[in-house]
Amino acid sequence: MASGSKKVIYAALIGNSLIAVCKFVAATFTGSSAMLSEGVHSLVDTGNQVLMLHGLRRAKKQPDEMHPFGYGMELYFWAFVVAILIFALGSGISLYEGIKHIRNPEVITDPTWNYVVLGLAIIFEGWAWSVAYLEFKKIKGKRGLWEEVRRSKDPTIFTILFEDTAAMLGLVTALIGIFLAQYLGIPELDGVASVVIAAILAGVAILLSIECKGLLIGESAGTAVTEGIRALLQDNGRIVSVNELLTMHLGPTDILVNISLDFADNLSSSDVEEMISDMEIRIKAQYPNVKRVFIEAQSFLSHNRATSE
């Protein structure tokens, strides 16, 4: 997953860097508001990819005294920062430029520049989008796109996919706005296109922030993992009941499992210790992403009394 994530980010970084330069050059020569907004959009996206790479690097840091569970959740933090930047910088600046050019429209001097750059941008962005989508398709299987986004614990791939989708929509919007402004002789439509681009970016930022918020505050490992672990525990005749089973993602491939078990009364303390070690080994073997397992021996009644207080 990590290699796939980096592949997607590097593809987007290369594509957006090239696109940003082209858009700013075109905006300088033509005075197009939509093109300037698109240039800002690509520049923000380029910075976002750098932040995602930084997040991946930080997430690999080994646990220490201050962070005994590691730094895996830093990736979720930086993904949330990306969502904020898309909203504040990408959407905010595009909205400002759009309103400014609607109130004080400027005639586009040489639209040919815009059409050439937008054509190149669509090619570059289309390549980056296809890389992100193919990588996302590998992990989603038969599930729908939104269903996979909701269950995914790796924000890098779906963040880049959302960014690239917004970029493609923005390019089409800019192309339509510039064409209509020129063809109809209504320069205000160039500013309107910037406002629409701002709305697209705001929508993507809100979706990303919602998903990243869930990961930041702690999400479970999902039904497949939790029910699989529960079935594995209940298959042991010496376990009377599974009092509690809690899971949480500390990173895309780092799951914490906390279990309270009621063991049979005829077991000795050494038997219980041996069973706990055995269950930990079996859980980690069946679910490689489970890195830490904490098993507590506690009677059902004692557990209920402790949790109710």
Q: What is the pLDDT of residues 81-127, one digit of tens each?
A: 988 888 888 888 888 888 988 888 877 666 777 788 888 888 888 88
- Give residues with Cβ within 8 angstroms of 74, minimum separation 6: 55, 58, 59, 61
Amino acid type, 269: S
Relative to beta strand 290-297, strand 254-263 is parallel
pLDDT (tens digit per residue) in 199-249: 998 998 898 888 888 888 888 888 889 999 999 988 887 888 898 999 999
Would you place residue 2 in the very low, low, confident or very high pLDDT band (cuts 50, 70, 90)? Answer: very low
Percent pLDDT > 90 in the chain is 14
Would you place residue 289 in the very low, low, confident or very high pLDDT band (cuts 50, 70, 90)? Answer: very high
Provide the CA 65 distance to its chain's centre, in angstroms: 28
Average pLDDT rounded to a whole number, residues 49-60: 88
Average pLDDT rounded to a whole number, residues 276-303: 88
Check pLDDT > 90 for residue 37: no
- Give residues with Cβ within 8 angstroms of 113, minimum separation 6: 25, 26, 29, 30
Mean pLDDT, the chain, rounded, equals 84
pLDDT (tens digit per residue) in 15-34: 888 888 888 888 888 777 77
| More confidently predicted of 81 and 152 | 81
pTM: 0.78
N residues, the chain = 309
Check pLDDT > 80 for residue 49: yes
